[in-house]
Amino acid sequence: MDDASSSFEITINGTKRHFNVEPWVTLLDLLRERAGLTGTKKGCDHGQCGACTVLVDGQRVNSCLMLAVMQDGKEVTTIEGLAAGNELHPLQRGFIQHDAFQCGYCTPGQICSALGLIREGKADSVDSIREFMSGNLCRCGAYSNIVAAIEQARGQL
Amino acid sequence: MKKFAFNRAETLEDAVSAGASAGVRFIAGGTNLIDLMKENVERPDRLVDITRLPLGEVKRQADGSLSLGALVSNAAVAEHPLVRGHYPLLSLALLSGASPQLRNLATVGGNLLQRTRCCYFYDLATVCNKRTPQTGCAARNGINRQHAILGHSQACIAVHPSDMCVALAALEARVRVLGRQGERTIPIADFHRLPGNEPEFDTILRAGDLITAVELPSNDWSEHSHYLKIRDRASYAFALVSVAVALQLDGEYIVEARLALGGVAHKPWRLESAELALRGQRTSNSSYQRAAETLLQGAEGFEHNRFKIELARRAIVRACAEAAKGTRR
């Protein structure tokens, strides 16, 4: 692996995909522009807003601060990978039922982050949810409804 | 972002030898480096991916110390049973920094090497001696709310942004480094430097040096420690002032103390004289106040951060009182 484009494989939402891209392509740009998965959003592009949150090998991360080439052999889960066919994921249902968004731009990142949060076992109280979701900003200010959606979904996973 | 070449280091020796060349940067978590590259503050010619090197273990050593591999994530350190059980101060400090997503990516080694978040360091339209030596410091007469009150120089008033390092300073951790001359151990107090006339150097490391681990001494101070972080938001913000304190008590008396400040200087701020001022004293606010006065001797603020001196004084007293009550778990 050297200078020019690199060839590697990433499993995205259960499907192994092959890529050949320059080393400066971020995982976020790879997902959106090379893999055609535009559900993951680019907000600040500096790791401050959390809109780009996906799960890599089960852990929530900021895809805007990761080089795609470094994810060789890893498993990535994006918002597109959560629903089972037409059956929405419990977090997706929770966000709809609790009106946990207005513009919706931060929502894919919020949901992927919430999935990581629940798996980490940190969704057991409102205070803990608020603290451990602090890496996801919502400029519409839907925070209280986001907390309610996560509280509802945590028992359904 | 400037274009760059990329390769993966397969062995520690590969990494050290590659890292010694000009324009080469190691990349692991990348949370700070990629950000700085997007801002064109960092413009490496080549990145060497060190994430597949065997530096990902937390292990107890024969002498009772705990070794944290340089590639262990901040989240994994904070949640590790041996860290939670024996070094709760470190766990608390780590969990007060960044966000869960960043902590999953950021590593022990990268946390030690993260650059200041001084807004002028990031802003290519302004002068900065740290970014471009001998150009001047825009922060001195600029918006300096987040800046240093101790140990600053004419050239630079930036602060080191880490929470982890403040806890490591109080715990007297050691940094293991592999360089071209072999492996060496650096006490955390000597690892970061004050800006002086060369603010471009944050640490004493030189080209090719690779952090392999951080060692925590066996004295874990687990009974009476606290990390207090004061910031502009309740979560996910850098410290205005933070305090790491560890006490060893005998009833109402302090046998031994460790005290370090974050958010106030170019490195975690620790003075032996302030710790000696607590030795043999009662666990009372007046004892803590005397230690605070000693630790803050010579503090000098700027237009927007003078409040930090009184804030630090009060934070030290509160953190010591909390620690004396017993570590919160």
Handedness of CA B181, B201, B260, B246 (dihedral sign): negative
Backbone angles phi, psi at B60, to 5 degrees: -75, 135
- pLDDT of A4: 78
Q: Between β-strands A59-62 and A75-77, what pairing exists: parallel, antiparallel or unpaired? A: unpaired
Q: Which of A30, A54, A64, A70 to mutate to test the interface with B (most CBs of B within 10 A)?
A: A70
Distance from CA of B323 to the nearest CA of A (A): 22
Task: Encode B266-277 in three state secondary structure.
Answer: CCCECCHHHHHC
Q: Is B72 helix (H, G, I), strand (E, B) or coil?
A: coil
Q: Ramachandran region of residue B149, left (φ > 0), alpha (ψ -120 to 50) or beta? A: alpha
Cβ <8 Å between B31 and A70: no
Residues of chain B neighbouring A67 (CB-CB closer than 8 A): 6, 27, 30, 34, 47, 49
Cβ <8 Å between B101 and A47: yes
Cα separation, B49 vs A153, in Å, equals 38
| Number of other residues whose CB lies within 10 A of the CB of residue B248 | 16
Cβ <8 Å between A69 and B235: no
Query: Whole-model pTM?
Result: 0.98
Cβ <8 Å between B100 and A132: yes
User: B114-126: string of b/e by CB count within 10 Å (b at 16+)?
Assistant: bbbebbbbbeeeb
Cα separation, A144 vs A148, in Å, equals 6
- pLDDT of B329: 78
Cα separation, B16 vs A49, in Å, equals 35
Q: Which residue of B has its CA nearest to A46?
A: B35
- Mind listing the domains of chain A with CATH numbers? 6-81 (3.10.20.30), 90-154 (1.10.150.120)
Residues 277-296 of B with CB under 8 A from A: none
Nearest to A62 among B6, B101, B235 (CB): B101
- pLDDT of A2: 47
- pLDDT of A3: 52
Give one DSSP letter per residue of B114-130, joined into a string.
PPP--HHHH-TTS-BTT
H-helix or E-strand containing B87?
A: none
Q: Which residue of B has its CA nearest to A58?
A: B104
Q: In whole angstroms, how far apart are CA B258 and each of B129, B169, B274, B289?
A: 32, 9, 9, 15
Residues 13-72 of A with CB under 8 A from B: 22-24, 26, 45-47, 50, 53, 59-62, 64-67, 69-70
Q: Domain extents for chain B?
A: 225-325
Distance from CA of B267 to the nearest CA of A (A): 24
B34 touches chain A (CB under 8 A): yes
Cβ <8 Å between B105 and A6: no
Q: Which of A8, A57, A67 to mutate to test the interface with B (most CBs of B within 10 A)?
A: A67
Cα separation, A123 vs A138, in Å, equals 18
- Name the residue among A85, A64, A66 with its Cα closest to residue A13: A85
Segment-wise mean pLDDT, segments of 10 residues, chain B, 329 residues: 96 96 97 98 98 98 97 98 97 98 98 98 98 98 98 98 98 97 97 98 96 94 97 97 98 97 98 98 98 98 98 98 93
Residues of chain A neighbouring B35 (CB-CB closer than 8 A): 46-47, 65
Residues 91-130 of A with CB under 8 A from B: 113, 116-117, 120, 122, 130
Taking one residue from A and the other from B, the number of pairs with CB-CB distance under 8 angstroms is 86
Distance from CA of A130 to the nearest CA of B (A): 9
* Amino acid symbol at B27: I
Backbone angles phi, psi at B174, to 5 degrees: -125, 140
Is residue B281 a contact partner of residue B254, using CB atoms and an 8 Å limit? yes
The CATH number of B225-325 is which of 3.60.70.12, 3.30.390.50, 3.30.2290.10, 3.30.450.20? 3.30.390.50
Residues of chain A neighbouring B91 (CB-CB closer than 8 A): none
Residues of chain B neighbouring A69 (CB-CB closer than 8 A): 6, 49
Cβ <8 Å between A67 and B47: yes
Cα Rg of chain A, angstroms: 16
One digit per residue, the tens of pLDDT, for chain A of length 157 reads 445 799 999 999 999 999 999 999 999 999 999 999 999 999 999 999 999 999 999 999 999 999 999 999 999 999 999 999 999 999 999 999 999 999 999 999 999 999 999 999 999 999 999 999 999 999 999 999 999 999 999 999 8
